[in-house]
Amino acid sequence: MTETPGLPPDDIVVAALRAGDEAMFAALLDSWARGMLWLARSHVSTNDSAEEVVQDTWLAVIRGIDGFEGRSSVKTWVYRILVNTARKRGMRENRTVPWSSAFAGGEKPFPDGSRLQGADDPLPGFWKDIPALWPTPEGEVLAAEVREQITTALAGLPPRQRAVITLRDVEGCTSEEVCEILDVSAANQRVLLHRARVVVRGRLEEYFETVRRSA
């Protein structure tokens, strides 16, 4: 399992948490807070609910750290607790259905599906051709606008797609970690990720085209 860049190895993290090291706890919050909120929001109805899920998750982590067995990375373990907590709260809010049947056949359509390989192709859900590189943003204002476009695109994704792309592209989790955290198959994870990336990419392409026309 991978370790989080900027944080010490898992054995040191676990030892510090078990010792009640507030500095280590703060470091984990700084590193994972945004991704945890995004992931929680995929299952619950409001931002406030997502924040409460994150708080409940950290309480569970503190209470359960002595029982951590190291079968996965600390990050995977924490995110798995988060997902379970968020699902339970989402069910109570009547906003979700069990993960195994959620959105079965009902994912929102994504832009320009002709650019992806179909179900009968060797790699369904992947791009047929490697896309050209996105333009590189120049200047803080443009970069901030690009981040806003990405945030908006992520917010509009179906929950399962948003969860997968948040873990992979925002949090830097491996595909194996995502499958473990979300309890999805490798094939399902790949399709969800690529569909989500197409949506985000499409929004950015539209944005950059608007910028070019107005330049």
Structure tokens belonging to residue 198: 């197409």
Please state, in angstroms and rounded to a whole number, the distance separating the CA atoms of residues 102 and 96. Answer: 7
**Closest by alpha carbon to 202, among 133, 132, 112, 135?**
112
Architecture field, domain 113-214? Orthogonal Bundle (1.10)
Residue ranges of the chain that CATH labels 1.10.1740.10: 10-92
pLDDT for the residue numbered 3: 56
Structure tokens belonging to residue 110: 């994504």
Cα atoms found within 13 Å of the Cα of residue 18, Cβ hemisphere only: 12
pLDDT for the residue numbered 102: 43
Classified by CATH at the fold level, domain 10-92 comes out as Rna Polymerase Sigma Factor; Chain: A (1.10.1740)
Other CB atoms within 10 A of residue 148 CB: 11
Please state, in angstroms and rounded to a whole number, the distance separating the CA atoms of residues 156 and 77. Answer: 27
Whether the model clears a pTM of 0.85, i.e. scores above it, the answer is no
pLDDT tens, the chain, 215 aa long: 445 667 899 999 999 999 999 999 999 998 998 889 888 988 888 889 999 999 999 999 999 999 999 889 999 999 999 999 998 888 887 544 454 444 433 444 444 555 555 555 554 444 454 444 445 544 555 667 777 888 888 888 888 998 999 899 888 899 999 999 999 999 999 999 999 998 888 888 888 888 778 76
CA distances from 180 to 73, 94, 186, 190, 213 (A): 11, 25, 10, 13, 44
Q: Are 128 and 117 in contact (CB under 8 A)?
A: yes
Residue-wise DSSP of 153-177: HHHTS-HHHHHHHIIIIIS---HHH
Residue ranges of the chain that CATH labels 1.10.10.10: 113-214
Phi and psi, residue 87, nearest 5°? -65, -45
